[in-house]
Amino acid sequence: MVIGIAICLNVLGCNFSSYLDLTEEKRFTLTQPTTNLLQKLDDKVFVQVLLEGDFPAGFKRLQRATQDMLIDFRSVSSYIEYEFEDPSRGTIEEINARREQLKKDGIRAKNLFIEAGDERKQVLIYPYAILHYKGRSIPVDILGEDVPGVPSEVALNNAVGLLEYKLANAIQKLQITRKPAIAFTKGHEELSPLEVRDFSESLLPFYDVGFLDLDSVVYIHPEIAVLIIAKPRTVFSEKDKFKIDQYIMSGGKVMWLIDALNVSLDSMRQQNQYVPLPYSDDLLNVADMLFNYGARINNNLVLDLKNTRIPQVIDERGSQKLVPWYYHLVASGNTEHPITKSTGMVNLRFPHTVDSIRTKTPIKKTFLINSSKNSRLQYFPVRLNFEILKYKPEVEQFNKGEQPLALMLEGTFPAHYKNRATASTLEVWKELGQEFKTESVPTKMLVVADGDIIKNPANPATNSYGRCGYNPYEKFAFANKDFLINALEYLMDTEGVIAARTREVKLRLLDQVRAEQEKTKWQLINIGLPLLFLLLFGLAYNYLRKRRYAF
């Protein structure tokens, strides 16, 4: 009977597992959308993790967290298989060949400095997981990009918190058999294909990306997953607005990246004083449309003490120095929203404020990007020049608090052309086989009051381009592309996997000063107290034993 019970327990233990998650933030419990995604798997997903080797404690924690997450995935679906590998193991020829192949696959090594006593050495690590499914594969950067000013402990903690989302998101993308279509609008002097090349090419592995001239189509096909309107500079006709409106009514998603005023650093350098003018009196003729959907972009400029620098001539010899430029903001995201949680700072150039407006239908409105608390506003008309750089900023003037710069709208939107469309327009629409809709199905849209957020440095003469969000003066790429890709995936996410981005793993660090001051006390408690209990137990045990068996 004992042998039979032991066998039964072992069989049950191999086939069934369970646990209790007693952590405050439920760090070991998968979100329901991730669980649903894993339960729908119909073939093996092999995860090749390149996190094996001799790492410092922080990376060992990331390694263990990755393994724990894969174990949790496997507990939901037996199709999950994984293996940890060290890409720096083998002969020099094997290592170099492997690194070259990883580079071709878009996997970049990260430099890690390890200190051991007086010795300090540099090693290359690959904190990546490569997921394979039905002949397709996708690399996942487990660690993420370095963010200036963020301590390594916090960066590693953020990486641990995003593990579920990154792995689940990769599995979701691998299951897509037909790439969704993403379209940039044309015909209104939007940013050129070269100026959005970095962002669009980042989408190509998972999406079909193209450009759509609104004048050349009779309607926007609902198979276009997201429509991106990137910094238009000429007004939209009523026909184009009608097409966009009915596309939204059919469930289409739109990213509005709009500038209200025509201003740039180059235009200011051409004149001693510059007055930025609106592109039109009604925000390119879409102000009423956005107002109907619940957003308003204002004719103002936001200045902030948290900014990036520009070069300025400081003497007669033409010497230049980088000085703070209040109109180029370094803005932070909403830490409670999955799009911006654990995402770095974004760099905005001459942004405006965006307001949320009461709508006829219930729409959820969430501000995603805000200026810092030390901001101020300038309203049109305003005269701009570089004279303000000669004086020290008066901090008391930057007292407007956090200003909203980007807004997410979610819900059922009222049609802008309800009771506005002419009879002839409705007749033509009917002849095209389209149904005029007065209210949308549940959908989403993003409104950003800065068209340059998606722009990358571009040189038409050489057909070359840089990274989206790259600041040539600071020589650093801000998280503009990460923000926009997260927003795009949030707009399209029907499974709700992106909810895993809100997972928070609290960083509970030791108080180093207190730990050093109370070192002896805690050593005695942790080492001496157990020995004391053991001694007392031994004495008591021997005393009772002698008393019991004494004649």
Site of tokens 């993308």: 173
Q: Which residues pair with 125 in a beta bridge?
A: 110
What is the residue-wise DSSP string for 301-339? EEEESSEEEEEEE-STT--EEEEEEEEEEEEEE-TTSTT
Q: What is the pLDDT along the chain (551 residues), one digit of tens a residue?
A: 999 998 988 887 766 666 666 666 566 678 888 888 899 899 999 999 988 877 777 778 888 989 999 998 998 899 999 999 888 888 888 888 888 888 888 788 777 666 555 566 667 788 899 999 998 899 988 887 655 544 467 777 778 888 888 899 899 888 888 889 999 999 999 999 999 999 999 998 889 999 999 999 999 999 999 999 999 999 999 999 999 999 999 999 999 999 999 998 888 877 777 888 999 889 999 999 999 999 999 999 999 999 999 988 776 776 788 999 999 999 999 888 989 987 889 999 999 999 999 998 999 999 999 999 999 999 988 888 888 888 888 888 899 999 999 999 999 999 999 988 888 888 889 888 899 999 999 999 999 999 999 999 999 999 999 999 999 999 888 999 999 999 999 998 876 777 666 666 555 556 667 777 888 888 888 888 888 889 898 888 888 888 777 65
Nearest in space to 48 (alpha carbons), one of 86, 85, 5: 85
- Quote the tokens at residue 322: 């980088």
Instruction: Report yes or no: 308 and 328 within 8 Å, Cβ to Cβ.
Output: yes
Q: What is the pTM of this model?
A: 0.80
Kindly provide the b/e burial profile for residues 59-86, where b requires at least 16 CB atoms within 10 angstroms of the residue's own CB: bebbbebbeebbebbbbbbebbebebee
Task: Tell me the fold of 181-502.
Answer: Rossmann fold (3.40.50)
Q: Give the C-alpha separation, 407 to 294, whole Å.
A: 10
Q: Give the C-alpha separation, 209 to 203, whole Å.
A: 7
What is the residue-wise DSSP string for 106-160? T---EEEEEEETTEEEEEEE--EEEEEETTEEEEEESS----TT--HHHHHHHHH
Q: Give the C-alpha separation, 240 to 219, whole Å.
A: 9
Spell out the domain ranges in the chain.
26-174, 181-502
CATH number, span 26-174: 3.40.30
Q: Give the C-alpha separation, 500 to 165, whole Å.
A: 5
Q: Give the C-alpha separation, 308 to 347, whole Å.
A: 8
Phi, psi values for residue 13, rounded to 5°: -65, -30
